[in-house]
Amino acid sequence: MALITVKELQALTERQNGQRISMGESLYGSVRAVQDGAISVHVVWRYKIHGKVRQVAIGTWKESGGKSLKEIREIKNRLATDRADGKDPITEKEAARLKKQADQIEAKQTQITRLQELAAKDARMTVRGLFELWQHTDLKKRQDRGSEATRAFERDVFPLIGELAATDVNKSHIQSIIDTMLSRGVKRMTERVFSDLRQLFGFALDRDHIEVDPTARIKKHKIGGSVERDRVLSEAELVQFFKLLPFSGLTETSQNALLIAISTGSRIGETLKAHWQHVDFQRRTWTQPEVSAAGRFTKNGKRHVIHLNDMALRAFEALHQNSGATQWVFPNARLNGPVDLKTVSKQVADRQRGDIERMSGRTKQTNALALAGGKWTPHDLRRTAATLMGDLNVLPEVIDRCLNHTEQNKVKRIYQRAQYEAPMREAWTKLGVRLELLINKPVNVVTLARAA
């Protein structure tokens, strides 16, 4: 029987759809035509074994994207050679399939075993091992690549708890490190080491290497550290803030960044890193992912979904008119990344410097954002948003969720995610309604009293 040619295959049309054709050398094809008119031929090879005719699939010929006629014949020739050696191609093919399946099962089991070994190792990971993991992922991003922290831990931490399992470290171990260092009179160094210990165990908590942070109940100011800021803008100051903002000399972009911060409680750095792909105008949500191309997105590395109240939604809509064609909500001048995360904080600080000599290249409006209660920062707006929620009778645990604070209890972290969605949405809505009243403050709006 004559061998079919490529030209003959190319000449097949939709009218041959469903027909079986002989291709020579015991090759047979079934013609198939698809909606776009493309023709394919499913090819089988027939052979005899023990007096019975059997057929095995060779492949599918297509003019584009399938096997060529040459490849089909080469496969047939290999099968014919196997048959001449007494092998049954179908049996061989099935054996190969079963071997592949067995190899996959074995590989999966090997992987499971490896993961179990790693899990067991993680369960007893030492503090030194945890530090090395932290150094490999986070600490190396510091300007000195973590060299200073490494020297400090080698001197003051590892000798006391380096070989101790991270899960076994408790408050007394941390206090012992602090006391030992303070006895040498190195208060500043003690503060830095404690700060790094807090970051280390926060890192471990986020990745479920530990269930409780042993540094959580130790107050930084009690070991000689700086007292944490507790600046909260009063409602009277917020009324003043909303009046001053449009005339502060800040760009509309920076103004909207501050409005998003106060109306969502988001950190200013996380606000300025926002991507448009994470803003859903229809659902009124802004999702802060666990990580972005630049690394960890949120401070604790946890995904956070924020409900956009009216103020936040308007701010994002205004921003979208200017930067919606880019990837970033707050793009830099080159449009190849987000704006510098310190930009807005510097602009706010410049507008509270008071009547001092103007700095070169900086704004002349050195009192444009000065408030009655003293200097404030964009991060204070986050604290203010949380305080307002509390004044509006939002439960503390709901406020913590709105701020994306990490739940210390692992069981609660897992089982309470979904049940807080509705209360969080209500909390952001209440916050937005109150801010709207303050931004448009009519004479009959009374500012909320706040406990001292």
Residues 178 and 299 in one domain: no
Prediction pTM value: 0.52
The boundaries of the domain holding residue 96 are 88-114
| Inside any domain, residue 378 | yes
Name residues whose C-beta falls within 8 Å of residue 384's C-beta, 6 or more positions apart in sequence: 232, 233, 238, 262
Burial class (CB in 10 A: 0-12, 13-18, 19+), 438: buried
Domain end position, chosen among 223, 248, 263: 223
Return the number of other C-beta atoms located less than 10 Å from residue 330's C-beta.
25
Instruction: Using the 3D structure, point to which of 223, 251, 269 is the last residue of a domain.
Output: 223
Q: 296 and 391, same structural domain?
A: yes
150 in Cβ contact with 135 (< 8 Å): yes
432 occurs within a structural domain: yes
Query: Quick one: pLDDT at residue 115?
Result: 65
The secondary element (H helix, E strand) that includes residue 100 is helix 89-123
284 and 167 in one domain? no
DSSP-derived 3-state class of residue 133: helix
Higher pLDDT, 410 or 127: 127
Query: How would residue 113 be classed by pLDDT, with cut points 50, 70 and 90?
Result: low
**Does one domain contain both 247 and 267?**
yes
| pLDDT tens column, 288-333 | 987 655 556 777 678 899 999 999 999 999 999 999 899 999 999 8
- 248-252, 314-318, 403-407 — which is least confidently predicted? 403-407
**Does residue 273 belong to any structural domain of this protein?**
yes
CATH code, 14: 3.30.160.390
The mean per-residue pLDDT over the stretch 129-154 comes to: 88
CA 190 from centre of chain: 32
First-to-last alpha carbon distance for the chain, in angstroms, is 100
**48 & 159 share domain:** no
pLDDT band at 159 (very low <50, low <70, confident <90, very high): very high
Span 428-436, average pLDDT: 95
Q: Report how far residue 190's alpha carbon sits from residue 406's, in angstroms, rounded to the nearest whole number.
A: 25
Nearest Cα neighbor of 384 from 246, 240, 217, 221 is: 240
Most confident of 73-77, 405-409, 413-417: 73-77
Q: Report whether pLDDT(406) > 80.
A: no
Residues 259 and 196 in one domain: no
Q: What is the pLDDT of residues 114-131, one digit of tens each?
A: 665 555 555 578 999 899
Q: How far apart are CA 41 and CA 65, in angstroms?
A: 12
Asked whether residue 307 falls in the same domain as residue 422, the answer is yes
Is the pLDDT score of 452 beyond 60?
no
pLDDT at residue 445 in the model:
55
Tell me what percent of the residues of the chain surpass a pLDDT of 70.
Answer: 86
Query: In a 3-state reduction of DSSP, which class is residue 53?
Result: strand
Do residues 401 and 425 both lie within one domain?
yes
Query: 10: which residues sit within 8 A by CB, 6+ positions away?
Result: 63
Residue 228 within a domain: no
The two tokens of residue 449 are 């009293």
Q: What is the pLDDT of residue 222?
A: 66
The token pair at 249 is 């000399």
Give the pLDDT score at 363.
67
Q: Do 54 and 153 sit in the same domain of this protein?
A: no
Task: Name the more confident of 353 and 253.
Answer: 253
With a cut of 70, say whether residue 451 has pLDDT above it: no
How many Å apart are CA 276 and CA 302, to the nearest integer? 19
The CA–CA distances, whole Å, from 301 to 63, 204, 420 equal 50, 11, 19
For the beta carbon of residue 315, count every other beta carbon within 10 angstroms. Answer: 25
82 and 99 assigned to the same domain: no
One-letter amino acid for residue 132 of the chain: E
CATH at 417: 1.10.443.10
Average pLDDT (247-271) is: 94
Q: Do 291 and 408 fall into the same domain? A: yes
> At residue 441, what is the residue type?
K
Spatial distance between the Cα atoms of 422 and 305, rounded to a whole number of angstroms:
12
For 98, other C-beta atoms within 10 Å of its C-beta total 10
pLDDT score of 183: 81
Q: Is 204 inside a domain boundary?
A: yes
Asked whether residue 451 is assigned to any structural domain, the reply reads: no
Q: Is the pLDDT score of 103 beyond 70?
A: yes
CATH of the domain at 147: 1.10.150.130
* Backbone phi, psi, residue 295, to 5°: 120, -150
187, 225 contact by CB (below 8 A): no
Answer yes or no: is 155 within a domain: yes
Of 36, 69, 87, the domain-final residue: 87
| Residue 91 neighbours by CB distance under 10 Å | 13
Count Cβ neighbours within 10 Å for each residue of 62-79 and write b for 16 or more, e otherwise. beeebbebeebbebbeeb
Does residue 108 share a domain with residue 133?
no
Confidence of residue 356 (pLDDT cuts 50, 70, 90): low
359 pLDDT higher than 60: no
Q: Does residue 431 have a pLDDT over 70?
A: yes
pLDDT value, residue 448: 59
pLDDT for position 367: 85
pLDDT reported for residue 227: 44
* Average pLDDT along the chain: 84
Domain count of the fold of the chain: 4
Assigned domain for 230 exists? no
Question: What sign does the CA torsion over 117, 118, 123, 127 have?
Answer: positive
